[in-house]
Amino acid sequence: MIHELARLRDRTRVFRDRGEAGAVLTGMLARNIPPGARILAIPAGGVPVALPLARALGVPLDVAVVSKITPSWHSEAGYGAVAFDGRVRVDEARREQLGVAASEVGKDVDRTAARVRRRVERFRGGRGPVVAPGDAAVLVDDGLASGVTMATAAEAVRAAGAARIVVAVPTASEEAAKRLAEVAEEVYCANLRAGPRFAVADAYVEWFDLDDAAVLEILTRSADGNLP
């Protein structure tokens, strides 16, 4: 099932930044999350979005490390994803659209898998599994364009034992939200947009990339209880 805010449908520049977007999501989800749910952000952009939700619920902020597969010549254009458990999903239609040769896929996957391993070690260290069998998990990112990365995350978290998965994003293409509704029990999206052209950044007034150091700082301070 997909839940949206009708007043934000098809609008752009509706959030000042990721923190405000997370606060809006918190208002949508606060009374609708299963007890004991784990909040799992998709780094990097999902971490500041998930922070207000984790604080409101009084639960630890954790991450489900999944990275999109990109060509060597373009760090933003994705055509698949690699998850923390090693699973790989390649969107062949998107690969062909980007003009990535089949012979290059293995190199792109290997590069992405190495990044995932580095991030798992850096962001999670010696922590245990992302979920325990029977847990509910709330997967958070800053937006869904194709939805491939989030779908891969949902598959990995389900395989890790999650009994219920909720996807929570500030903005998404209608097509991506429908894709996620097929693999998660609930999808919460404040700003749902239809149409052939979609960019996550268009939902935000202030948009910038987060590096790993910024993500690690948020996670560390959150774990120490040092965030307001």
Q: Tell me the per-residue pLDDT of 185-216, one tens digit each, with 9 for 90 and over.
A: 999 999 999 988 899 999 999 999 899 999 99
Which range marks the domain in which residue 148 is found? 2-64+130-223
Question: What is the average pLDDT score of the chain?
Answer: 92
Helices and strands (H and E) in the chain: how many: 7, 9
Asked if the structure places residue 84 within a domain, the reply is: no
Asked if the structure places residue 216 within a domain, the reply is: yes
Instruction: Give me the pLDDT at residue 30, please.
Output: 81
Domain count, the chain: 1
Asked if the structure places residue 56 within a domain, the reply is: yes
- Under the banding of pLDDT at 50, 70 and 90, the label for residue 228 is very low
Which CATH number covers residue 42? Answer: 3.40.50.2020
Asked if the structure places residue 72 within a domain, the reply is: no
- The answer to whether the peptide bond before residue 44 is cis (omega within 30 degrees of 0) is yes
Asked if the structure places residue 78 within a domain, the reply is: no
Provide the token pair at 140. Answer: 């958070």
Asked if the structure places residue 123 within a domain, the reply is: no
Asked if the structure places residue 100 within a domain, the reply is: no
Instruction: Give me the pLDDT at residue 156, please.
Output: 97
Report the alpha-carbon distance of residue 178 to residue 147 in Å, rounded: 9
- Whether the CB-CB separation of 12 and 202 falls below 8 Å is answered with yes
The structure's pTM equals: 0.93
Single-letter amino acid, residue 228: P
Asked if the structure places residue 22 within a domain, the reply is: yes
Instruction: Give me the pLDDT at residue 127, please.
Output: 83
Instruction: Give me the pLDDT at residue 225, please.
Output: 55
